[in-house]
Homo-oligomer: A and B are copies of this chain.
Amino acid sequence: MSTEQERRLLRDTIEAGFRDAAFVTDVGIRLVDCGPGWCESELLVTPRHLQHGGVVHAGVQATIADHTAGAAAATMLDAGRHVVTAEFKINLLRAARSDRLTCRADVLKSGRAIIVVEADVFASVHGEAVLVSRFNATMSVLDLA
Residues of A that sit less than 8 Å from B by CB:
17, 20-24, 26-27, 47-52, 57-60, 62-64, 66-67, 82, 84-95, 108-109, 113-114, 116, 134, 136, 138, 140
User: Is the pair A21, B57 in contact by a Cβ cutoff of 8 Å?
Assistant: yes
If over half of A's interface residues share one DSSP class (helix, strand or loop), that class is named, otherwise mixed; here it is mixed
Instruction: Name 19 A/B residue pairs within 8 A (Cβ), A-sorted.
Output: A17-B52, A22-B48, A22-B50, A24-B57, A26-B48, A26-B49, A27-B59, A58-B62, A58-B66, A58-B85, A59-B59, A62-B63, A86-B91, A87-B92, A91-B136, A93-B108, A108-B134, A113-B113, A134-B136
CB-CB < 8 A to A134: which residues of B? 108, 136
User: Is the pair A89, B86 in contact by a Cβ cutoff of 8 Å?
Assistant: no
CB-CB < 8 A to A62: which residues of B? 58-59, 62-63, 66, 88, 90
CB-CB < 8 A to A84: which residues of B? 92, 95
CB-CB < 8 A to A51: which residues of B? 21-24
Identity of the chain B residue whose Cβ is nearest the Cβ of A62 in the assembled complex = B62
Tell me the bound Cα distance from A86 to B50 in angstroms.
Answer: 17
Tell me the bound Cα distance from A108 to B94 in angstroms.
Answer: 11
Tell me the bound Cα distance from A52 to B89 in angstroms.
Answer: 22
